[in-house]
Structures are given as structure tokens and as C-alpha cells.
Amino acid sequence: MKNTFTIWRFFAVGLIALPFISYSSDNDDNVNQDYYEHVKQAVFSDPYPFLPQYQVSRKLFDNNGENLLLKHAKRTLSSTADFIELEGKQKLLQANGICFAGNWRISENSSFTGLYSKGTDVPVIVRASVSLSGTKQVDKRAFGMAIKLFPELKGEDATTPLTYNLFVMHSLGGTQTQHVLSLPMTNEPSLGELPPFSQLLTAYRLESDLETADKLFSQEKANARFRPVSHIARIPQSDLTTNTPLPLNGPHWLKLVASTDTAFVDKSDFRDELALVHYSNNRIQWDIYAATNNAQGIESAKWQYLGAMTVKESVTSLTCDTRLHFAHPVIQ
């Protein structure tokens, strides 16, 4: 029965999100840095006075005979906007979250290219969320993060902001845990447990519609348990002097783990737990590990430490939960 949930859980982190590349009309020398500040300002502009408790329910998936869930999934995979206005008042999935601003820094040598290469230091906007309605320690929480990177742009790209997005998750079905920060996350998470009995029908509906959308775009390569991460190894994508493609070497698997010196915070709701005001220097750091593919699967991955992602500002806000979206990379 567990296998029935491999389709929708991880796919959902990116699907009710936003496409791979985002655009703006600004035209500055450091257009991506300016755009990062624009996105950050919007995300932090409307903090909640108290935490909402959005309910993920199949009752919201349809409206007057129209399948909104499938419609949103298709739009997510084809739209080119970083912010989107929802038909309803909340996301259909991953509705409760917390957002961060910080940096993605690669400090170690490796064979990987692009934003995995040593010396990379780019700003990020991150959203941490859980798949269904339960946000508390007593709930089974399918916890994951969407990461939006703002690399420095060169040549013709320097006139149009581009954002690149990654998705990592702990388990597809979720788990009951005291601290979500203690959970390692990968781009091919384990199955985890079944969702609460009261939300089984919601889960089945999600599986069906999100699998349909995934197959439309990834076709025969569709695999909702796995989200590709090699695309950020393409930056920069070509030698600007000759306009020829540069060698590409991206990892197959990515893993983020809270740094070993992290002091976990005991709060019932994961959004309270991750609020940076509770942490030393108002920061959380996740160590970044990567691995190449092998025939035995991720359980036999040989992980290489690359650097760390550090977040320095956090917010629970209306824009974070209802307008900000992240690209869902299609498997090519």
C-alpha cells in the first residue's frame, strides 16, 4: 500500500510551484542580485500576525466541474512567473510553510561543475513546508524544502533574471518526529509511512492527478520519487567567447543535512521550530552533499561534502504561502 504514494508526495513539493526559469524586465548590471532583493522584499513584505492552519483537502481540488489540481499542475510546468495569483485563497498542497533568505556556498573541490563548483556563493530564497495539513510534532509530517538560487549572470543572460530551483525531502509519506531539522533530505527520498487515515482519499486523488501531469511533461521518464538536480551544473551554460557548450558534470543525488553543531529547538509546530530567532546568531546551516549515480541506488551512494547552505532571515508570510512558487524540473 505504501507504494501507492510514491507518485504524489515528492512530486508535490515542486508541482504546485513555479517553472524552471523566471523572468523580469529589469536591465541592470547586476540584474540577478537586484531581482533577488525584489523577490526577498516581496516574500518578507506581509508577515502573519499569527500562524495560519491551512487545510489540504480534496474538496478544494475541483470547482464547478473543473479539475483545479490538474490545471494548476499543468500551469506550474509551463508558466514563467515567480509569483502567481491563485484562484483560491491557499495552495492545494504544501499549504503551510516558512521562508528563508540566505546563501548557497560551495567550499570544496569536486568534479562537479556550475553551481556545484568550488567558490560558488549565490543568494537563495528557501521555502520549507509539509505536504498535508499536519504541522505539529504529533502529526506525520512529510517535510521538504524548495530552494531558489540566483546565480551571477554573464553576457546576454545578464539582462534577464534567471532563477534555478532544487527540491529535497525527507520521506514521501512523512514521519512523526520531534524535530524536522534533524531529518536529512535528498532528491530521492524514502517512502516513509502512510498518511493519516483521514487523508487517504486526498492522497489517492493527489497521486492520480499529479502522476498525469508528470507524464505529460517527463513522458516515459516520469518518476515522481526522483527530482533531478544536475541542471544547476550547467551554469554558466557556455563559453561566452566562442558560444560553445562547456563540459557538464552534475551529481545524480543531492543531500542536505543540518550541520553537526546545530542545537535543535523544541517547538510543536515546525514553523516555530525553524524560526531563526530561536537559533544562535539567528542562523541555520545545512551541509551540502552530492553523489554520482550507481546501479544499487541511493542507499549505496558515496556522498561527497561540497559546502553549506546558510539561512539568515526567516518569515512566515502570506506571500511565502500563497504567491511564491518554485520551478519543477522536468526529467529529460
HEC profile for 69-128?
Answer: HHHHHHHHCCCCCCECCCCCCCCCCCCCEEEEEEEEEECCCCCCCHHHCCCCEEEEEEEE
For 213-248, the pLDDT digits (tens) are 667 756 566 566 788 999 999 886 554 455 666 668
Q: Quick check: 285 and 274 in contact, CB under 8 A?
A: no
Q: Which has the higher per-residue pLDDT, 245 or 146?
A: 146
pLDDT surpassing 90 at residue 114? yes
Averaged confidence pLDDT in the chain:
83
Q: 181 in helix, strand or coil?
A: helix
pLDDT surpassing 70 at residue 125? yes
90/88 Cα distance (integer angstroms): 6
Question: Which pLDDT score is estimated for 42?
Answer: 98
pTM of this structure: 0.86
pLDDT surpassing 70 at residue 110? yes
Confidence of residue 206 (pLDDT cuts 50, 70, 90): low
pLDDT surpassing 60 at residue 44? yes
Highest mean pLDDT: which range of 11-20, 92-101, 303-312: 303-312
For 262-285, the pLDDT digits (tens) are 999 999 999 999 999 999 999 999
Question: Which pLDDT score is estimated for 212?
Answer: 72
Q: Which amino acid is at 315?
A: V
Q: Quick check: 103 and 236 in contact, CB under 8 A?
A: no
12/284 Cα distance (integer angstroms): 25
